[in-house]
Amino acid sequence: MKAFNKYFSTYAEKEIQFVDLLPSDFKDFDYAVTVPLCDELEDFPRLVASLEKAAGFSSKSILLIALVNNRLNSSQEVKKNNLELLKIWKENLRGEGLFFQNEIFFGLKRKKVSFFFIDCASEGKCFQEKEGVGLARKIACDVASYLSYKGYVKKDPIFSTDGDAEVPCDFFCLQEVKIKFFFMVSPFSHRIEEGAPDSKKEAIKRYECYLNSYVEGLLFARSPYAFHTIGSCIAFSLEAYVLVRGFPKSRLAGEDFYFLSKVAKVAVRVEALCSPIILSSRESTRVPFGTGQSLKKIVAEEKDSYKPYEKDLFYPLKAYLELAQNIFSQKQDDFSLEENEFFFFFKNYGYLDLLLAISKENLSGERKLKKFHDTFDAFNTLKFIHKTKEVFYF
């Protein structure tokens, strides 16, 4: 309880105060789904339709928290589309049941999928020039977390997805999770639009192969960070979210990667058993990097950056993680390293220093290994792979 109070009073975004302004019967939801919306006028209805279908299939009551956002310096087209989305959905919902609104938010309670829209797109409400999807996800998830904390949303996990995604029918058919600190990553595939040119189809396949090859390499190396980090496909418990203080709001892209890197240090990954989420394969420049930018580069024949990761690239990582396991499972502090075939690589680039420093601490072997993996996290693992590629010319 103390951790929750501290988070919501100190670290949560101010928008959580909206929860206290909601109608008294805006509650009793099974799950909350959060989605940042920026230039999603055309795709958002497809997400809503898929959520309604999934809610009906699982007989669950879902609250969709949609944060419509753009920056002061966003293009006029993006601003126009966001305002049109707000206008259309406000008009669509106004005629139904328990509709509510004020100058910043509006929503509707329904049987399957209820709505809570937050306006960060209109004049005077939009983000500053250096704010973006990181802040958008944090606001939406802070609101969802506060609703869960107050008991308006009854179950974990809290879901994060995107406006151009399409969830499967079995999305909410979850196994019972009895632990408090957990997260999930759903499988995914990219949508190939009917009539798409061969170059676009090939780009999608190449990009998926690129993403999967990295995770497969981490699995081969037995890294604890062997999972995809795509904001459309993640879910997490309230306790885990609060403990890591939410999404990194300063990130204009990659917020999902850094968030899951933190969560994986404090929570257990639970297998998501649903069918794949279908992701958009549209080319985009809304964020500095990510799916849209990557596909745009591949179609433009910038292929070298998106070649699949070769399995050989992960042998040094596998050796390094095994070395850490062996060192921290021994009771004595003296050990021989020269026999490792990558010894000089580990030594020359500082990886050996980390192992030696932790091995000298007055901790149990188990706690030493935990500290190692917390330090050598997802970001440092990625840098290790890049350094391996640079040094060994893979």
Average pLDDT, the chain: 90
Q: Is the peptide bond before 157 cis (omega within 30 degrees of 0)?
A: yes
Q: Which amino acid is at 160?
A: S
Average pLDDT over residues 125-146: 96
- In degrees and rounded to multiples of 5, residue 107 shows phi and psi of -170, 180
Q: Are residues 247 and 339 in the same domain?
A: no
Q: Are residues 112 and 53 in the same domain?
A: yes
Average pLDDT over residues 291-305: 59
Query: Would 299 be classed as within a structural domain?
Result: no
Q: Residue 304 pLDDT more than 70?
A: no
Q: Which helix (H) or strand (E) holds 293?
A: helix 291-299
Q: Residue 53 pLDDT more than 80?
A: yes
Q: How confident is the model at residue 388 (pLDDT cuts 50, 70, 90)?
A: very high
Q: How confident is the model at residue 75 (pLDDT cuts 50, 70, 90)?
A: very high
Query: Would 42 be classed as within a structural domain?
Result: yes
Q: How confident is the model at residue 357 (pLDDT cuts 50, 70, 90)?
A: very high
CA 35/CA 48 separation, integer angstroms: 11
Q: Are residues 261 and 343 in the same domain?
A: no
Q: Are residues 109 and 234 in the same domain?
A: yes
Q: Are residues 252 and 117 in the same domain?
A: yes
Which of 92 and 373 is assigned the larger pLDDT?
373
User: Which of 146-160, 188-202, 253-267 has the least mean pLDDT?
Assistant: 188-202
Q: Residue 289 pLDDT more than 90?
A: no
The first and second tokens of residue 94, run together, are 């106004």
Q: Residue 330 pLDDT more than 90?
A: no
Q: Which helix (H) or strand (E) holds 106?
A: strand 105-109
Q: Are residues 247 and 334 in the same domain?
A: no
CA 370/CA 119 separation, integer angstroms: 42
The first and second tokens of residue 156, run together, are 């974990």
CA 291/CA 165 separation, integer angstroms: 12
Q: Residue 212 pLDDT more than 90?
A: yes
The first and second tokens of residue 64, run together, are 């969709």
DSSP state, 270?
P
CA 132/CA 286 separation, integer angstroms: 9
Q: Which of 238, 270, 302 is the last residue of a domain?
A: 270
Q: Are residues 264 and 320 in the same domain?
A: no
Q: Are residues 343 and 260 in the same domain?
A: no
Q: Are residues 349 and 261 in the same domain?
A: no
Residues 6+ apart with CB under 8 A from 373: 224, 265
Q: Which of 270, 302, 329 is the last residue of a domain?
A: 270
Q: Residue 294 pLDDT more than 80?
A: no
Q: Residue 296 pLDDT more than 70?
A: no
Q: Are residues 245 and 386 in the same domain?
A: no
Average pLDDT over residues 344-353: 91
Annotate 345-384 with b (16+ C-beta within 10 A) or e (fewer).
Answer: bbeeeebbebbeebbeeeeeeeebbbbbbeebbbeebeeb
Percent of the chain exceeding pLDDT 70 equals: 90
Query: Would 317 be classed as within a structural domain?
Result: yes
CATH of the domain at 247: 3.90.550.10
Average pLDDT over residues 85-94: 93
Query: Would 125 be classed as within a structural domain?
Result: yes
Average pLDDT over residues 306-332: 88
Q: Are residues 367 and 231 in the same domain?
A: no
Q: Residue 288 pLDDT more than 60?
A: no
The domain of 101 spans 2-191+227-270
Residues 6+ apart with CB under 8 A from 205: none
Q: How confident is the model at residue 287 (pLDDT cuts 50, 70, 90)?
A: very low
Q: How confident is the model at residue 332 (pLDDT cuts 50, 70, 90)?
A: very low
Alpha-carbon dihedral angle through residues 48, 49, 52, 56, given to the nearest 10 degrees = -160
The first and second tokens of residue 342, run together, are 């990558």
Q: Residue 4 pLDDT more than 90?
A: yes
Query: Would 216 be classed as within a structural domain?
Result: no
Q: Are residues 256 and 338 in the same domain?
A: no
Q: How confident is the model at residue 339 (pLDDT cuts 50, 70, 90)?
A: low
Please give the tally of structural domains in the chain.
Answer: 2
Burial class, 31, CB count within 10 angstroms (exposed 0-12 / middle 13-18 / buried 19+): buried
Residues 6+ apart with CB under 8 A from 206: 298, 303, 306
* 20-25: Cβ within 8 A, 24+ apart: 21/102, 22/100, 22/107, 22/116, 22/152, 23/98, 23/100, 23/109, 25/98, 25/109
pLDDT for residue 392: 86
Query: Would 32 be classed as within a structural domain?
Result: yes
Q: Residue 310 pLDDT more than 70?
A: yes
Radius of gyration of the chain from its Cα atoms, rounded to whole angstroms: 23
pLDDT for residue 186: 96
Query: Would 337 be classed as within a structural domain?
Result: yes
Q: Which of 270, 301, 328 is the last residue of a domain?
A: 270
Query: Would 186 be classed as within a structural domain?
Result: yes
pLDDT for residue 201: 76
Q: Residue 285 pLDDT more than 60?
A: no
Q: How confident is the model at residue 200 (pLDDT cuts 50, 70, 90)?
A: confident
